[in-house]
Structure 1
Amino acid sequence: MIALTLAEIARVTGGELQAAGPHTPETIVDGTVDTDSRGITPGGIFAAKPGAETDGHLFVDAAVEGGAVLAIVERPVAASISQVIVPSVVAALADLARHVVARVRDAGSLTVVGVTGSNGKTTTKNMLARILVDEGETVWPVASFNNEVGAPLTMLRVTPTTRYLVCEFGASAPGEIARLAGLVTPDIGIVLMVGMAHAGGFGGIEATVAAKSELVSAVRPGGTAVLNADDPRVAGMAGIARDRGLEVVWFGRGASAQVRADDVRVDAAGTSCTVHAIGSSAPLRLRVLGEHHVMNALAAIAAATRIGVTLAECVARLETLEIAERWRMQPLGSDSIRIINDAYNASPDSMAAALRTLAQITEPGQRMVAVLGAMSELGEFAEDEHDRVGLLAVRLGVQRIVIVGADARRMFLEAIAQGSWDGEAVFFADADAAYDYLVGELRDGDRVLVKSSNAAGLRHLGDRLGESVS
């Protein structure tokens, strides 16, 4: 974080300062800000956020042991540390992030890029960060730090020398992206696609469209909207962009996109295509598995070339990226039995994309095995969408469909209804039972996809399977 006095932090957050020890209101702090006491480093600031399962105020002493010099709290705590007492720690983080980013932007040449979409946010921000980090100091989210806590924590990592801030904006209800993006008013806003992810929280697909368009509305005047030309719902956001005087840059697979790809090929080693952008073309060989990641790469390239990075530089840097993120199309195991652990998040679109990738990377003589868990936050659409996944698995010819967890049982029932009644589809109530089955079932040549939402916990099953066959 940038250097601020204790008095400035109290003023920005609307809090009351209680300085302790040698500290005075003019004491300067510039350490990292964290809500996890285990992540505190010397000189750090601990935000004691109350939570559903525990309360950060209980861990202030642990933060002090880690070297924290300031605690942002909602009530005074009996600890030997300076404290800023605020009405809401979450709101204080937002206020502090807004102030810090504005200070850095006013003092230098900071460019802020925001990324949203129903799928692909984390992969795209990692791809864009990989491109930009060679241009200058770049800050981007750890894992999926894209909510009301994670996004401000990312923003607070900027320093006076930061040139690029890449923010990932997630949401499960209307207004959340507007609030988060409003903290930084991005120079560039990327909208990847609109799908059924979180549709239950939004109340339907049209409400999801409106929520994702909040990023376009938050881009600062004179900025750029990077939009998916292949998704009609995203393409419709161009009207919002133009009404606000924004430049629109299109990416996609179609000929009308300014940044586009053709000759896409997928195999077990990665994904290849030819990229066309800003009047030039270049072959791209991604190590990241999955045809759907081509669109994420195009979005990153569209933003980076708008900033001034050449296509050749974008391609060279993207080709060094080995995986999108842990638990996202992550190859594990061995050449004989390959595990693809993609169980950090799941939506109908990403589930279908992962299953199609499994089919694309499985060669004749090899066997497709899909280990599938529930998709979260689909609300009234959950039953139909789980049915569609079971149907797709059968139509793709997956030889072993392993369904895990009661919330995913509809996939199993649909697979049975579609003809997988001779042992091809099996159901297990929990991951341990599925693991015991799979350890005895897997054989040389198997290509195994593990896919579910985070809440289903199958990412750990994927890790166990990867270790067992290595």
Structure 2
Amino acid sequence: MTLWTAAEAAAATGGRATADWQVNGVSIDTRTLQPGDLFVALKAARDGHDFVAQALEKGAGAALVSQIPEGVSPDAPLLIVEDVQTGLEALGQAARARTEARVVGVTGSVGKTSTKEMLVNILEIHGKTHASVASYNNHWGVPLTLARMPRDTEFAVIEIGMNHPGEIAPLARQARPHVGLVTTVAAVHLEAFESVAGIAKEKAAIFEGLVPGGAAIVNADIEHADILRQYADEAGAGIVDFGRAASDYVLTGVVQKPDSVHATAGVDGKDISFDVQSAGTHFAMNALGALAACVELGVDLNDAITGLRNWSPVKGRGVREQISLAGGGQIELLDDSYNANPTSMEAALEVLAASQGMRRIAFLGDMKELGAQEIPMHAAMANVAAMTQMDQVHCIGPLMKALYDALPAEKRGLWFETSVEMAERLPELICTGDTVLAKGSLSMALARIVDGLREMGQGDALEP
């Protein structure tokens, strides 16, 4: 199906098409570009104009540029605009305007991507659903997701993130969601914010983009829920809350199982229950927020609960794997290596604490962007309740040295500056029957620990 014609894209962006072309996708990376895509020559680490010729050689249907690149013919299929980023945003807004899709925007300090995937699993049963790929949630990820949205989309799930103040509101205005969901607010990106209250205000800015009469889904259990309610009220949104302290979707119980969680809740005076295919109370909370959002989008609650059963965590975000060791026996891996902050770190440790392994082993890497309190915040992880259930904790990175020093001697494993150094020692640190957690900020490359554990096995790890 044609996504954009030259005439449609030119009208949307105010640009000039050099030929009569049509495309069926949008790409910003020649490595993943598919034939027939519109290549967007963004300027990031490198100038995308340097790759236009390569994109066209790989079969791109056209390229969005601000000038004709060197080595590219003037009659090549191009869309020339004043600024490529602005052009991409205009394309995204045009795609949003031409569809009748019901849109949900998701933000939060923790749980954005898993909640987005839960929503997708529920909504795709009820209509053609479009969503952000991976964690495409920033100033180029949101307009790219919108620009890729087919005109016959019935539901759209747009993940919206931030690193600095003032980022969420303009992205929310581009997405114009019918429902805005804030999963939680926590001490993340404190380098750019003076306080967690400041982070709450930034997250609450998602409600500024709601369509008239839209719904704001608010986590009632967070410290600054009042800020979220205030912003939602100022936006004229209907407020729906979820959590233990909520009045709408009230979490009444969570039962941890080895690889899942069973939750109960009260909704409109009725008792409901649902299962989430990953251990952890935080996943039950995310699921309850997702259920509330789906109901606001017009999905029956029981149907939403049924759809939720199809969800399982994605790579690096809580996936469980059984790995058969080459010498015999098995270990269980909890791969939560994609990101980390104090809230998600504590949640991951709770999941490990509830596991049934003979030993509970954690490999923990630095938590980045915590600001001036980063050292004491790392050391404080030694005092979280789940830490009492750990058998051995191995620490990676200069910040995690603070946790290493704060740990009781009997729980203290090894400390190394990098994951590569730690990975070399894995064979002597892991025994059959262990349950192993890998958790850290993406830049700490805890995926190297995950890969090292898999390399200790025979054959492929089981898919989640």
TM-score of the superposed pair, with normalisation by structure 2? 0.91
Match for residue 307 of structure 1 among 289, 292, 297: 297
Q: Which amino acid aligns with 2:435?
A: R
Q: Which amino acid aligns with 1:44?
A: D
Report the Cα offset of residue 239 of structure 1: 2.5
Report the Cα offset of residue 353 of structure 1: 0.7
Report the Cα offset of residue 50 of structure 1: 1.9
- Distance (whole Å) between structure 1 residues aligned to residue 269 and residue 420 of structure 2: 53
Contact 1:3 1:28 in 2 (8 A): no
Contact 1:70 1:83 in 2 (8 A): yes
Report the Cα offset of residue 86 of structure 1: 3.1
Q: Residue 435 of structure 1 aligns with which residue?
A: 423
Contact 1:116 1:190 in 2 (8 A): yes
Aligned 1:237-276 pairs, distance under 5 A = 237-254=228-245, 256-276=246-266
SS at match of 1:174: coil
1:359 aligns with 2:353: yes
Q: Residue 459 of structure 1 aligns with which residue?
A: 447
Aligned 1:35-434 pairs, distance under 5 A = 35-52=28-45, 54-77=46-69, 78-80=71-73, 81-104=76-99, 109-254=100-245, 256-321=246-311, 323-334=312-323, 336-362=330-356, 366-392=358-384, 395-415=387-407, 419-420=408-409, 422=410, 424-434=412-422
Contact 1:341 1:451 in 2 (8 A): yes
Contact 1:263 1:274 in 2 (8 A): yes
Q: Which amino acid aligns with 1:47?
A: V
Q: Which amino acid aligns with 2:428?
A: G
Report the Cα offset of residue 394 of structure 1: 8.2
Contact 2:242 2:288 in 1 (8 A): yes
Residues 31 and 194 from structure 1, CA distance in 2 versus in 1: closer, same or farther, beyond 3 angstroms?
same
Q: Residue 462 of structure 2 aligns with which residue?
A: none
Deviation track 1:279-334 (CA, whole Å, cap 9, x = no partner) reads 5433322112211111110011001112222222122211122x222100111233
Between 75-84 and 392-401, the greater mean CA deviation after superposition: 392-401
- Distance (whole Å) between structure 2 residues aligned to residue 280 and residue 90 of structure 1: 48
Deviation track 1:63-106 (CA, whole Å, cap 9, x = no partner) reads 113321211123321225322233432222111101111121xx
Deviation track 1:225-251 (CA, whole Å, cap 9, x = no partner) reads 011111131343223322332111111
Deviation track 1:34-66 (CA, whole Å, cap 9, x = no partner) reads 1011222222100111222x3322222221133
Contact 1:188 1:225 in 2 (8 A): yes
Contact 1:348 1:385 in 2 (8 A): yes
- Distance (whole Å) between structure 2 residues aligned to residue 213 and residue 252 of structure 1: 17
Q: Residue 13 of structure 1 aligns with which residue?
A: 13
SS at match of 2:191: helix
Residues 257 and 28 from structure 1, CA distance in 2 versus in 1: closer, same or farther, beyond 3 angstroms?
farther
Deviation track 1:402-425 (CA, whole Å, cap 9, x = no partner) reads 11123432221222xxx22x5733
Contact 1:200 1:381 in 2 (8 A): no
Contact 1:119 1:349 in 2 (8 A): yes
Report the Cα offset of residue 457 of structure 1: 0.9
Q: Which amino acid aligns with 2:81?
A: V
Residues 262 and 409 from structure 1, CA distance in 2 versus in 1: closer, same or farther, beyond 3 angstroms?
same
SS at match of 2:316: coil
Contact 1:186 1:220 in 2 (8 A): yes
SS at match of 2:354: helix
Contact 2:201 2:227 in 1 (8 A): no
Q: Which amino acid aligns with 1:205?
A: V
- Distance (whole Å) between structure 1 residues aligned to residue 448 and residue 64 of structure 2: 34
Contact 1:112 1:166 in 2 (8 A): yes
Contact 2:177 2:211 in 1 (8 A): yes
Which runs of no fewer than 5 residues in structure 1 stay unpaired? none
- Distance (whole Å) between structure 1 residues aligned to residue 269 and residue 88 of structure 2: 43
Report the Cα offset of residue 2 of structure 1: 6.4
- Distance (whole Å) between structure 1 residues aligned to residue 50 and residue 431 of structure 2: 49
Residues 394 and 273 from structure 1, CA distance in 2 versus in 1: closer, same or farther, beyond 3 angstroms?
closer
Contact 1:31 1:44 in 2 (8 A): yes
Q: Residue 327 of structure 2 aligns with which residue?
A: none
- Distance (whole Å) between structure 2 residues aligned to residue 423 and residue 174 of structure 1: 39
Report the Cα offset of residue 14 of structure 1: 4.0
SS at match of 1:227: strand
Between 400-409 and 192-201, the greater mean CA deviation after superposition: 400-409
Between 302-311 and 84-93, the greater mean CA deviation after superposition: 84-93
Q: Which amino acid aligns with 1:211?
A: E
- Distance (whole Å) between structure 1 residues aligned to residue 87 and residue 369 of structure 2: 28
SS at match of 1:39: coil
The number of aligned residues is 450
Contact 1:332 1:466 in 2 (8 A): no
Identity %: 33
SS at match of 1:200: coil
Contact 1:341 1:463 in 2 (8 A): no
SS at match of 1:237: helix
Residues 461 and 74 from structure 1, CA distance in 2 versus in 1: closer, same or farther, beyond 3 angstroms?
farther
